Amino acid sequence: MSGTMGRAALVVSGGILFSRVLGFVREMVLAALLGRTIEADLYQAAFTIPDFLFFLMAGGYLTLTFVPIVSRHLAAGEEDEANRSFTAIARVVGGLMLAATAVTTIWARPLTERVFSDIPAERLPQLVDLVRIVLPAQFFFVLGSLCTAVQYAHRKFLIPTLAPIVYNIAIIAGGTISHLLGRTGPQGFVLGALGGAIVGNFGLQWWGARRVGLRWQRGTPLRHPAVGEYFALALPLMIGQSAVGLDEVFFRYFGQFAASGDIAALNYARRLQMVPVGVIAQAVGVASYPFLARLFAEGRLEEMRAQVSQAVRSGLVVSGLATAGVIALSTPLVAVAYQRGSFDASDTAATAPLLAIYGLAIPMWTAHQVYTRAFYAQRRMWLPVVVGTAITIVALPTYYFAATSFAAVGVAATSTAVMAAYAIVMGWLWHREGSATEVARSAGQTLVAAVPAAAVAWGVARAVTGGEPPDTSTGIVTLVAGGVLAAGAYWAVLRAMSSPELAAISKRWRRQKGSPR
pLDDT above 70: residue 517: no
Instruction: Provide the CA 271 distance to its chain's centre, in angstroms.
Output: 9
pLDDT above 70: residue 286: no
Q: Are 296 and 377 in contact (CB under 8 A)?
A: yes
User: Of 4-18, 232-246, 293-307, 352-366, which gets the smallest average pLDDT?
Assistant: 4-18
Tell me the longest C-alpha to C-alpha distance in the chain: 70
Q: Are 413 and 419 in contact (CB under 8 A)?
A: no
pLDDT tens digit sequence for 216-268:
988 888 888 888 888 877 776 666 556 666 787 888 888 888 777 888 899 89
Q: Are 332 and 470 in contact (CB under 8 A)?
A: yes
What is the pLDDT at residue 60?
A: 57
Closest listed residue to residue 351, CA positions, set 256, 458, 271: 271
Angle of CA points 391, 50, 107, to nearest 5°: 115
Closest listed residue to residue 485, CA positions, set 444, 456, 508: 456
Q: For the chain, percent helix, then strand, then coil, each to nearest 5? A: 85, 0, 15
Assign 61 a pLDDT band (cuts: 50, 70, 90).
low
What span, in angstroms and rounded, lies between the C-alpha atoms of 87 and 218? 8
Q: Please state, for a pLDDT cut of 90, what percent of the chain lies above it.
A: 43
Kindly state the helix (H) or strand (E) to which residue 328 belongs, with its residue range.
helix 301-328
Q: Are 325 and 457 in contact (CB under 8 A)?
A: yes
User: Of 243-257, 276-290, 355-369, 464-478, which gets the smallest average pLDDT?
Assistant: 276-290
pLDDT above 70: residue 210: yes
Q: Are 413 and 270 in contact (CB under 8 A)?
A: no
Closest listed residue to residue 267, CA positions, set 247, 252, 250: 252
Instruction: Identify the sign of the CA torsion 379, 380, 385, 391.
Output: negative
Closest listed residue to residue 43, CA positions, set 123, 136, 153: 123
What span, in angstroms and rounded, lies between the C-alpha atoms of 52 and 47? 8
Assign 282 a pLDDT band (cuts: 50, 70, 90).
low
pLDDT above 50: residue 354: yes
What is the average pLDDT score of the chain? 86
pLDDT above 70: residue 515: no
- Tallying the residues shown for the chain, one arrives at 517
Single-letter amino acid, residue 116: F
Query: In sequence order, what DSSP letters do the residues of 117-175 get, joined into one string?
Result: TTS-GGGHHHHHHHHHHHTTHHHHHHHHHHHHHHHHHTT--HHHHHHHHHHHHHHHHHH
Assign 470 a pLDDT band (cuts: 50, 70, 90).
very high
What span, in angstroms and rounded, lies between the C-alpha atoms of 141 and 59? 8
Helices vs. strands in the chain: H and E counts, helices first = 23, 0
Q: Round to the nearest angstrom and report the end-to-end CA distance of the chain.
A: 23
What is the pLDDT at residue 13?
A: 59
| Residue 307 or residue 192, greater confidence | 192
pLDDT above 70: residue 370: yes
Q: Please state, for a pLDDT cut of 70, what percent of the chain lies above it.
A: 89
| Residue 84 or residue 244, greater confidence | 84
pLDDT tens digit sequence for 373-421:
888 888 787 788 788 888 888 998 999 999 999 999 999 999 999 999 9
pLDDT above 70: residue 283: no
Single-letter amino acid, residue 37: T
What span, in angstroms and rounded, lies between the C-alpha atoms of 308 and 436? 11
pLDDT above 80: residue 508: no
Most confident stretch, 149-163, 289-303, 471-485: 471-485
Distant-in-sequence, close-in-space partners of 449: CB < 8 Å, separation ≥ 6: 320, 321, 489, 490, 493, 494, 497, 499
Q: Averaged over 127-134, what is the pLDDT? A: 95
Q: Are 175 and 193 in contact (CB under 8 A)?
A: no
pLDDT tens digit sequence for 451-466:
999 999 999 999 999 8
pLDDT tens digit sequence for 323-353:
999 999 999 999 998 998 889 999 999 999 9
What span, in angstroms and rounded, lies between the C-alpha atoms of 35 and 206? 36
Kindly state the helix (H) or strand (E) to which residue 388 belongs, with its residue range.
helix 382-431
Q: Averaged over 128-151, what is the pLDDT? A: 93
What is the pLDDT at residue 356?
A: 96
What is the pLDDT at residue 425?
A: 93
Assign 510 a pLDDT band (cuts: 50, 70, 90).
low
What is the pLDDT at residue 270?
A: 92
- Say whether 466 sits in a helix, a strand or coil: coil
